[in-house]
Structure formats: structure tokens, C-alpha cells
Amino acid sequence: MVSRSDNVAPQTLWLCVHLPMLPVEVFTRGLQTEDIRRPIVVLAQRKVRFLNLAAHALGIDIGSSLDTALTLSSQVVSFERNEQKEFSTLSHLAQWAYQFTPSVTIRTPDCLLLDISGCLKLFGGLETLKTKIQQGLTKQGYESILTTNMTPMAALCLATSNRKPQVERDKPELDGNKSRAFYVASSLEHLPVNCLQVDKKIIESLQQMGIADCKALFALPKSGLNRRFGIYFVDYLQRLLGEKSDPQKFINPDPKFINDVTFLTDVNNTASLRFPINRLISELAEFLTVRQLATNHLSWTLSHRNHSDRNFNILLANPVNEHDMFKSLTLLKLEQIKDVKEIDNLSLAVNNLFPAVNLSGDLFHGTSFQQKDSVKGQQQADMLLNKLRTRLGPGSCYGLSAANDHRPEKAWKPVRLDQKDYWQPNRVGMASTPEPARPMMLLSQPKLLPATCEFSSAGKISDKASVKPPFQPSSFHSSSRGSKHQLTLLKGPERIDFGWWDEEDLNKVITRDYYVATIDNQGSLLWIFQYSNDKRWYLHGIFS
Amino acid sequence: MEQKQPQDLQKTLEKAGMWRASHLHAGYQSGQKQGTPTGFKILDEQLSGSGWPAEGITELLYEHAGIGEIRLLAPALANLSQQQAGWILWISPPYIPYAPALTAAGIDLTSILVINPKNQTDSLWAMEQALASTSCCAVLAWPKNINDKQVRRLQVASKSGESLGILFRPMESVRHASPAELRIELTGNHYSPLVEHSSLDIKIVKRRGGWPTEKFTIDFDDKLHQITPDFSEMAFRNPNNPASDLVFIDPQSSEDRHGFPLR
């Protein structure tokens, strides 16, 4: 007994997207128009399996050998069929179709099934939706056939049947007396049996039995078919006609974006990558828009079959979804890539996805009244930072932060700008007692002062306890050769203990005595120190 | 004709581009933007717009680092960092801008961005981008060598971005003309045992709405020239108290240090 689910199941409508030229299009999409006009064949086992219109016009047929094709025209471009790539493209398109409905199924090798019963109203009816999908696919470089039916299998049959459906109902109306199976059957009845997605052997025996089209097949009793062809065939028919529920496995929205463009001829200057880059970025922007996502990391790969891949990354200050920013930064980075030889494939991968934050615009937009934390200001700041980091490399830009340590080298730290704590500054120890003067500029490494330096203390107390005239050196070191420098110690010493808690061997513990000093009577103020153990003098900072 | 002449003169005088040598602030009054106050009254008085120019490049020319070239800018930078959004961008500074000193000067560290471009081209590019974008309130750069065409380009960029652009250049470039808005020669001041604070001699070489000035002195509010008396010789003369053991210990802190473990 067949279960009749029509009365309980809500009315469903399935859309099948068939991509008949997918094996060719995975190679040709993203090409210039003159390239698409070239005859292109896709081979499997040295035989032509798929070809484009230009190749067909030359007289090349499916099944001919590559030699035949090349004899017909030397212009023929051939590719080995890449099923893996077809599948990944199909998955990508399924992700793309996710913008229309969450119920998307992939049917290998070249079909997508979309349950559109719930989204007709949103997209303004079936025809609008179909046009939208078809246009979207054409824009991405894919030819498509769209068919609808009430069961997924029936839609698939219609799509792959390669003929225009004679009867297509926009909105199949069920009346209580007639079952869903009746409508599905009537829409399929003119199809030949070889359109069914079943074993070739079954189709052959059906044809041998004299059953040419589906109408004749549906007229046969199910029990007889069951005995003759087995339970699976009947199960398929029941699912086809909607007499049995046919649950589909829907895709999950992809956590990443990856897409690529292949070139027919090798590209050897980066300037000609502009258009493919634009195309990939448009697709990324669309991907992000329909999912309400944003990203801060674009990873590009330039590859060639004979060379190793060349990667470059675009890092952004904050996750965004802005076509123009992606594009300008990519082109900026591309200008720097000089040593690229040949390219036959360009791919874009994005793994870091963040939920998009929709900010409302500035109320005082366009006026001189700009708040400190205005959105626009933040965006411009991000844009500048992105530009700088893209051209100069992420390591060459840093912010500053104070650290809670009294040792001069450790009292500050550079802040990588993609770290969040940059925006929440570390204010430890800020409110402590007023510190002795610190120089505006610090040397990354203390510099040993040359032995030619002479030191004098301005504050020297003479025998008579009166202040000596300055610049009268009491020489610590002096040398006859090389330029002499005269340093006068003004303020100090400030003794700074140097990390006995970081050092295991307590004998290594040294302290530094820091002084403010002038040099050579120029007016420059230096921050110098003397080690307590070997009494050597170092320059550590400049009071700029 | 003769009667109209005074009116014509009056009209001519009212034109924005006109300035009278006797009126330093003529330019500002006729719509020029007010500058960023330098924090030094004596310097503000010498500058049209009463401060660092809001548009255009300022060149600071000096021979030796360490005379106070950044300390001169510090009050303005502190003001900008606290009141305006946007970065204070340091392009290839010769040494590391030292965070504790900047904080002490009142500069908000979160507004500081330091970049170290690998070559001169990148550094000029970065400076132009930063000046033209409105997201920097000040751009400080230490170009290795820069010609007047490049300065002109930066000058144009800074007008569109309205940010304070400072170039630190060697003193010798004063001999070459520059399209910069303001050029200032800085000379370090010798320390004198009688004055505790450091100071800086300033000579404005080029400014809008005024002639070059004579040298004048800016006093910093610091104690960098304060001299710590050196008792080492006295100590040395005391045989019980060798110089190497002489350590200045703040009695307050030593009490703390010794007192704490006993509590």
C-alpha cells in the first residue's frame, strides 16, 4: 500500500539547476570573449567528452579523438577533464545558491536542487526567481537550464532530459481529488524513459519491453515492476511521483570562500590580472553580503603548472566587506610582485569570516562636526592602516604601549595593530609617582660609547665646595686617535637594577647608573649609563 | 580716477592673498585656518594662525639630535592626541619613540603609529598617503634626502588632508629653497649651571605672513639641566667611605624596602 502523503505534506516546489557545460566552463569562465570563441574541448581517455559551440561548429563531435579535433583545426584548446574541479565548482555554486534558499542539494555531476517552495514570495514569484538565478549564473560564466517540479527527482529528470518541458506549471494547484502524483506524472509523461536516473540495464529492459516514454511506464502496475526490477526501482518511481517522501541532504553554509580563475594562455604580466581579480572580488563580496559576513584576510595564489605557487596575503585592520577596499589593496600588493614568470591560475581563498557589523551612518555626515569615535573616521583610519600594511608589510607598522616594568627596555612594547589590546590600552603603572626624566627616543640596543669620550661631572664639588666652571673634564677615558667627544654629566645617577629576578646566576646581576649628559657643548641631551661592574659607558637614549 | 584710488587700495588690501608686513595675523584673519597651538606662547606669537600650520608642511632643521626637537612638538601632539581622532604617524624615526616619555608628555599612546618603510620611495609614499587621508592628525617624518619637488607634493597632500606634517631635516638643507609652509632652524642651547631647565634656540627661516625672525629662545618646563651634586671627590677624601660604595638612597624608599618584609 502506497502511503499518500499529499494531503498532509505542504505543497513543495523544487527547482533543478542543470549546468550542461560545466566540464568546459570550469576552464573557460573568467576568460575574455575572444578566448571563449576559440574551440575548446574537454577530454577523458583521449576522447572528446565535452566541447563548446565553436568546437561544435568546426565539426568536432563528442567521442572523436583529440587527433581528429586537431586535424579539424589547429586552434583547438584541449583540457583533461577535471572532475574534482567540477565538484568543487558545483559546491561553490551551491554555496552561491544558498542566498536564495537554505535547502540546496548537490547532485553530481552537474546539478543543483533547490527547494524553493518557501522563498517564492520573497523573490517575487517563480519567474523572477528563475531569471535572477539564471542571470547570476551567466554573470559568473555558467550556462544553465532551470526546471521546476513538485518532487526533486522529477525536476532533475526534466532538467537533464535536454528538451523543453511542454507543460510547466508556475504554481501547481492541487485540488483535493487529484494527487500530487497525478500532476508530476502528467508533467513527465512525454519524457523518454532514458531520462530517469536509474540503472542503464533497467532502461534497456524497459525499452526492450516496448516502453518508450514515462506515460507508458507509469501505467504499469507497481507490484509487477517491483517483481521485475526490484524494490529500489519502485522506490525511485514513488519518490519521483511524490508518493513517498524523498528527504534530501542539504548543504551547510560554507565556513570559507575559495574560488579561482584559469587562463587559457599563460599570463606573464600582472597587469592583465586586474579583470580576473575584480571578478573574484565581486564574487567574494557577494558571498559575504548574502551571508552577512566580513573578513580581514584575503589570501591570493598565483600558480602555474611548471612553477611553484606564489602566495600573497591581504591583511585588514578590521573585518569588512568592501569591494573597493579589497580591490585597491590587492592591486597595491600586486604592484609589488615583480618576479612572477607565468600564471595560468589565479585563486582567492578566505578563511577568516566574521559576522558583519552593520553600522548606522554618521548623523552629521559631511559636516565638519566629526566625533572622535565617528564611524567614518574609523573607516578612513582603517583604510590608511590597510594601505600602509599592504605596501610596507605587516611587520613594519606598530603601535606603542607602556609596560609595567621599570627597566628602560621593558617599559614599553610594540603593539601589533591587529591585536585587540591596541584599542584597549594597557594603562598599568600610569598613575604612579612622577618618574625621573625619560628620553623621547630610545636606542633599540644600548650603544657602547667610544673610548675617545671624555666624561666630566658638572656637579663636581671642588675642595672649596664651590661649583667649578663647566666643561672642565676630569677624564675617565681619553684617546689620542679618533674624534674626541666630551660628555658632561648633568643629572644622575639614577640606579636601575637590572633583572636579578630574571637571572639565575646572581653574579651576573648588574645595575646601571643612568645620567643625563650633554655632548660636545652642542646642546644635545643624551641618556647614558655606566655598568656597575665594568664601569663601561653606554648611550641608551636621546632627549629629542 | 584719483578719487577712486583709496577704495581700490582698500579692496586690494581685503583680498585673501594679501598680507601686510606689519600684520602678522593678516592671513589668519582673512580665512586662513587656525593652527595647532604649539604650547609655547613665544612661538605661537610668531606664527600666523597662532600655532603649527594646519595645512602644509613644517620643516624643522637641526644639526644634532637631542636638542629638543620632539619636546618642542610634544605639547601640540599631546593636545592633538587627546582632542582629535586620528593617528600620530611616525615615519622611519631614527630611534624608537619611547613610550614612557611620550606618556609623560601627555601623548595618548593609542594614537601613535610607527612605520619603518624599507626605502625612501615607500617612505614618501606613506607620508603622502597619510597626509592626504584625513585619518592622521600629525605625520612626523625623517626623510633621508628629499628634494623640493617631493616636498611640494607633500605640501599639496597635506592641504587636502588637513593634518600637521612635520619633516625633520638636516640643518644644511636650509641653503636650498623649499616649498614648505614653515621652516624653523633649531639650535641646541648650552647648559648653564645656573638654569635647571633645558632650552632651545629657534630661528624661523620661512613663515606665512612674516619675515624670517632673529633667534629666540624657548624654555622647556623640565629639569633636564638640573645638576646632581657630585660628592664623590669629597667621599673619596674620606678613607672610610670609598667612592665605589657611594649610592644615593632615597630615605623614604629605603625605609620601605627594609620595612616591608618585617610587616
Residue-number span of the structural domain to which A409 is assigned: 398-435
Quickly state the pLDDT bin for A34 (edges 50, 70, 90).
low
> Most B CBs within 10 Å: which of A333, A372, A388, A526, as the mutation test of the B interface?
A388
**Smallest Cβ distance to A544: which of B65, B100, B134?**
B65
Asked if residue A369 is part of any domain, the answer here is: no
Residue A171 confidence (pLDDT): 46
Q: What is the ipTM score, two decimals?
A: 0.77
Degrees to nearest 5, angle at CA A466 with A462 and A470: 75
**Residues A524 and A538 occupy one common structural domain:** yes
pLDDT at position A2 over 80? no
Backbone angles phi, psi at A282, to 5 degrees: -60, -40
CB contact under 8 A, B66 and A519: yes
pLDDT at position A278 over 70? yes
Residue with cell 502496475: A221
Quickly state the pLDDT bin for A8 (edges 50, 70, 90).
very low
Helices (H), chain B: 5-14, 26-29, 41-44, 69-83, 99-104, 120-132, 148-161, 232-237, 251-259
Q: How many folded domains does chain A comprise?
A: 4
Q: How many folded domains does chain B comprise?
A: 2
Between A121 and A360, the more confident residue is A121
Q: Judging by beta carbons within 10 Å of its beta carbon (0-12, 13-18, 19+), is residue B165 exposed, middle or buried? A: buried
CATH code (residue B121): 3.40.50.300
**Smallest Cβ distance to A392: which of B112, B115, B191?**
B115
Q: Judging by beta carbons within 10 Å of its beta carbon (0-12, 13-18, 19+), is residue B202 exposed, middle or buried? A: buried
**Residues A220 and A91 occupy one common structural domain:** yes
CB contact under 8 A, B109 and A399: yes
CA-nearest residue to A375 within chain B is B85
- Buried/exposed code over B243-258 (b: 16+ C-beta within 10 A; e: otherwise): eeeeeeeeeeeeeeee
**Residues B174 and B241 occupy one common structural domain:** no
**Residues A303 and A351 occupy one common structural domain:** yes
Q: Judging by beta carbons within 10 Å of its beta carbon (0-12, 13-18, 19+), is residue A23 exposed, middle or buried? A: buried
Average pLDDT, rounded, for chain A = 77
Asked if residue B16 is part of any domain, the answer here is: no
**Smallest Cβ distance to B136: which of A384, A439, A459?**
A384
User: What pTM was estimated for this model as a whole?
Assistant: 0.64
Residue A360 confidence (pLDDT): 59
Spell out which residues of chain A touch residue B230, defining contact as CB-CB under 8 Å: 457, 459-461, 489
> Most B CBs within 10 Å: which of A365, A464, A525, as the mutation test of the B interface?
A525
Adjacent-strand bridge partners of A518: A488, A525
**Smallest Cβ distance to A380: which of B70, B105, B133?**
B133
If you ran DSSP here, which 8-state letter would residue A192 be given? Answer: B
Residue-number span of the structural domain to which B241 is assigned: 232-262
Q: Nearest to residue A243, comparing CAs of A2, A444, A43? A: A2
For a pLDDT cut of 90, what percent of chain B falls above it?
Answer: 14
Residue B7 confidence (pLDDT): 73
Rounded to 10 deg, the angle between the B120-132 and B148-161 helix axes is: 30
Alpha carbons A51 and A43: distance in angstroms, whole number: 9
CB contact under 8 A, A440 and B112: no
Residue B65 confidence (pLDDT): 85
Alpha carbons B38 and A184: distance in angstroms, whole number: 83
Comparing A340-349, A388-397, A408-417, A467-476, which segment has the lowest mean pLDDT? A467-476
Alpha carbon dihedral A449, A455, A457, A462, in 10-degree steps, equals 160
Average pLDDT, rounded, for chain B = 78
Backbone angles phi, psi at A22, to 5 degrees: -50, -45
Backbone angles phi, psi at B255, to 5 degrees: -65, -45
Asked if residue B36 is part of any domain, the answer here is: yes
CA-nearest residue to A467 within chain B is B193
**Residues A313 and A333 occupy one common structural domain:** yes
CB contact under 8 A, B98 and A524: no
Asked if residue B44 is part of any domain, the answer here is: yes
pLDDT at position A369 over 70? no
Q: What is the pLDDT of residues B78-96, one digit of tens each?
A: 988 888 778 899 999 989 9
**Residues A270 and A286 occupy one common structural domain:** yes
pLDDT at position A521 over 60? yes
For residue A234, the SS3 value is helix
**Residues A304 and A216 occupy one common structural domain:** no
If you ran DSSP here, which 8-state letter would residue A79 be given? Answer: E
Quickly state the pLDDT bin for A46 (edges 50, 70, 90).
confident
Task: Average the pLDDT over B12-33 and give the result.
Answer: 59
Asked if residue A50 is part of any domain, the answer here is: no
Cα distances (angstroms) measured from residue A47 to each of A50, A78, A81: 9, 11, 10
Q: What is the pLDDT of residues A148-195, one digit of tens each?
A: 888 888 888 888 876 554 444 444 555 555 677 777 888 887 888 888
Asked if residue A233 is part of any domain, the answer here is: yes
**Residues B240 and B186 occupy one common structural domain:** no
- Alpha carbon distance, N-terminus to C-terminus of chain A: 94
**Residues A173 and A213 occupy one common structural domain:** yes
Spell out which residues of chain A touch residue B134, defining contact as CB-CB under 8 Å: 377, 380
**Residues B100 and B181 occupy one common structural domain:** yes
**Residues B256 and B177 occupy one common structural domain:** no
Spell out which residues of chain A touch residue B203, defining contact as CB-CB under 8 Å: none
Question: Cell numbers at residue A26, please?
Answer: 570550469
Asked if residue B27 is part of any domain, the answer here is: no
Cα distances (angstroms) measured from residue B179 to each of B145, B154, B162: 15, 10, 17
Q: What is the pLDDT of residues A221-273, one digit of tens each?
A: 888 888 888 888 888 888 888 888 888 888 887 778 888 888 877 887 777 88
Residue B89 confidence (pLDDT): 92
**Residues B156 and B251 occupy one common structural domain:** no
Q: Contact, A313 vs A297, CB < 8 A?
A: yes
Residue B4 confidence (pLDDT): 56
**Residues B255 and B159 occupy one common structural domain:** no
Quickly state the pLDDT bin for B139 (edges 50, 70, 90).
very high
Alpha carbons B71 and B222: distance in angstroms, whole number: 10
Q: Under the phi-then-psi rule, with left for phi > 0, alpha for psi from -120 to 50, and beta for the rest, what region is A195? A: alpha
For residue A191, the SS3 value is coil
CB contact under 8 A, B69 and A491: no
Which residues are CB-neighbours of A215 under 8 A, at least 6 positions away? A185, A189, A190
Asked if residue B9 is part of any domain, the answer here is: no
Asked if residue A70 is part of any domain, the answer here is: no
Quickly state the pLDDT bin for A449 (edges 50, 70, 90).
confident
Backbone angles phi, psi at B26, to 5 degrees: -55, -40
For residue A445, the SS3 value is strand
Q: Contact, A29 vs A45, CB < 8 A?
A: no
> Most B CBs within 10 Å: which of A325, A441, A496, A526, as the mutation test of the B interface?
A441
Asked if residue B4 is part of any domain, the answer here is: no
- Give the minimum alpha-carbon distance from B207 to chain A in angstroms, rounded to a whole number: 23
**Smallest Cβ distance to A443: which of B74, B95, B225?**
B95
**Residues B89 and B171 occupy one common structural domain:** yes
Q: Nearest to residue A155, comparing CAs of A144, A163, A167, A146? A: A146
> Most A CBs within 10 Å: which of B77, B108, B227, B246, as the mutation test of the A interface?
B227
**Residues A163 and A309 occupy one common structural domain:** no
**Residues B94 and B204 occupy one common structural domain:** yes
Residue A271 confidence (pLDDT): 78
Spell out which residues of chain B touch residue A370, defining contact as CB-CB under 8 Å: 85
Task: Average the pLDDT over A502-515 and give the result.
Answer: 75
CB contact under 8 A, A397 and B74: no
**Residues A192 and A319 occupy one common structural domain:** no
Residue A425 confidence (pLDDT): 45
Q: What is the pLDDT of residues A54-111, one digit of tens each?
A: 888 888 888 888 888 888 888 888 888 888 888 888 888 888 888 888 888 888 778 8
* Number of Cβ atoms within 10 Å of the Cβ of A490: 25
pLDDT at position A429 over 70? no
**Residues A407 and A492 occupy one common structural domain:** no
Quickly state the pLDDT bin for B235 (edges 50, 70, 90).
very low
Task: Average the pLDDT over A475-481 and give the result.
Answer: 34
Residue B257 confidence (pLDDT): 35
pLDDT at position B35 over 60? yes
**Residues B182 and B161 occupy one common structural domain:** yes
**Residues A110 and A81 occupy one common structural domain:** yes
Asked if residue A150 is part of any domain, the answer here is: yes
What is the residue-wise DSSP string for B144-212?
Answer: SS--HHHHHHHHHHHHHHT-EEEEEEEGGGGGS----SEEEEEEE----TT--S-EEEEEEEEBTTBPP
Q: Contact, A435 vs A405, CB < 8 A?
A: no
**Residues A331 and A473 occupy one common structural domain:** no
Cα distances (angstroms) measured from residue B145 to each of B63, B125, B172, B173, B197: 14, 14, 11, 9, 33
Adjacent-strand bridge partners of A146: A17
Spell out which residues of chain B touch residue A460, defining contact as CB-CB under 8 Å: 230, 233
